[in-house]
Structure formats: C-alpha cells, structure tokens
Chains A and B, each alone.
Chain A
C-alpha cells in the first residue's frame, strides 16, 4: 500500500511566476511522456510479472515516479501562484486558465487530457519492459 512522506524528493523553490513556462511544463505532469503515465505504467505492469526482482523493481520505480509527479505539480503550482490578469493573458496560458484557473490539471501542453492510450500494459514481460525503456527515454527527452 502507499504511505505518504511530507517532503519532496528534491527541493522546489521557484521565486518568479512564469505562466508561459508552466503551460509547457504541464506536459511533464499529464502529457503522454510525463510522470503520471510513468507511475501508472510501472504500477500496473507489476501485477503480471513472474519474478520477484521485477515486482520489486516496478513497484519501487512506480512509487518514485509518483514522487516525481508531485515535484512537477509543485513546479506548475509555484509558477502560477497569485497571477495578475495581465500575466494570465500571456501566450498560451489563458486557454488553460479559463477552465482550471491555477489548479494543476493532468494535461499535455497541447491541451489533451492525460489518457491511458499513451501507455501499454501487455502482461508480457519482454513487451512491458521494452515499452518501459522506450517511455523513459522519451521522458528524458522532455
């Protein structure tokens, strides 16, 4: 089961808001190669793994990815804290703001809500682990 520890894995202290940047970074939260996808991918694939090493690995990594999700959410939150109307009108962010204000919603930068269609859980060891390699490499790119 899951236990929450009240600290981030790495400190996030953003002094200046930047809604334009937030509109891009949100994709690492709820985009196709973001942390939500990573967490659910690993945590879902672990059930059909036949070896304890793999059950441990996917559980541990999936849990860590949830911690990363929290850090990205924190970044978006701090980038959009207490915005003025002028700042909200900044390119790109007003379309997000009209529906979410400064809430943190799992979506890609292009406005597409997070979908499990961006991940695969095949129940086959090789296929799942290979998909993990591809997905994590894509995430490194983001």
Chain B
C-alpha cells in the first residue's frame, strides 16, 4: 500500500488537465438568462484541484475550493498519527468525497479513474488492517479466529482508535 502523503506541504495536487475556467474556489452558473426568484448555487467544475488524502482528512474536505471555515477562522489542523487505521480513514474519506462529487459530475473521467484506483487501494488497505486489528464488517470472518466481530475495542472505546 502506498505511503500516506503526510509530508506533502499545503499545496493541493493539481489534476493533469489544467482548468482554464473559474479557479478552485469558483463554479459555473446557468447562462445570463436565468429564471427570476430562484437562488442559484455555482456548480463545481470538472477535474477540480484536490488536497492530498491526509490533508483532506485533516481539513474535512478533499477540495480546497470547498474549504470554507466558518467566520474565516483558520482552524489549527491537528497532526494525525501514521497508523494503518488512519491511512485507511484518509483513503476512505477521499473515496466518500469523490463519490459525492461523482453524483453531480458523473461524466468526469479523471475523477472516475481516481475513484476506482482509490477503491482498489482501499481493498488492500482493508486486508492489511484486518490482519492487524480484526474484522471491519460483520461478514469479514476468519473462522479460526472465532467470532471476532464482537471483540473489544469498539470504535468508541478507549484504545479503539490507536
């Protein structure tokens, strides 16, 4: 499994095809002749700039354009531990974010390919995690280990996030 990009500085990763339109923090609106009295939300453009996975998990979004801290307060980003669990969390978060993006941008081929590559990585990540910590799904069973699903710690317990 590839190493997490924890040492990558704040600069987001740029997609291979540069965006020549509005920029990371702006979107597209319907044409000038839009119906009256409706509020409009600019649509995020195709192939948006992204954070690294670890940055994304720390920031709370995969897309710098959507990083809008309330009252423009710059939130201190706590450093995350470099464990198999956190790596998997960062990967799964990127997958969640890309999944949501794809709901409204289903034709974005670059995003689809990236999504698919992350899903394959996550499958490896899960196997690695489960060998160390036990099942993630109720149906992840190794009969020799008994019904390990019920074993402590559960995610809310002390030691459940080590």
Which residues of A are in contact with B by a Cβ distance under 8 Å? 3-13, 53, 56-57, 60-61, 64, 70, 73-74, 77-78, 81, 126, 130, 140-141
Contact = CB atoms under 8 A, between A and B. Distances in A.
Interface of B: 38-39, 57, 70, 80-81, 85-86, 88-89, 92-93, 96, 99-100, 103-104, 106, 134-138, 149, 154-156, 158, 160-162
A12 B156 CA distance: 8
B155 A74 contact: yes
B161 A8 contact: yes
Main secondary structure of the interface of A (DSSP, over half): helix
Contacts, number: 66
B135 A6 contact: yes
A11 B103 contact: no
A9 B160 CA distance: 12
Interface of B is mostly: loop
Given A6-B155, A57-B104, 4 more contacts: A53-B103, A60-B99, A70-B155, A78-B158
B103 A13 contact: no
B162 A8 contact: no
A9 B89 contact: yes
Contacts of A5: 136-137
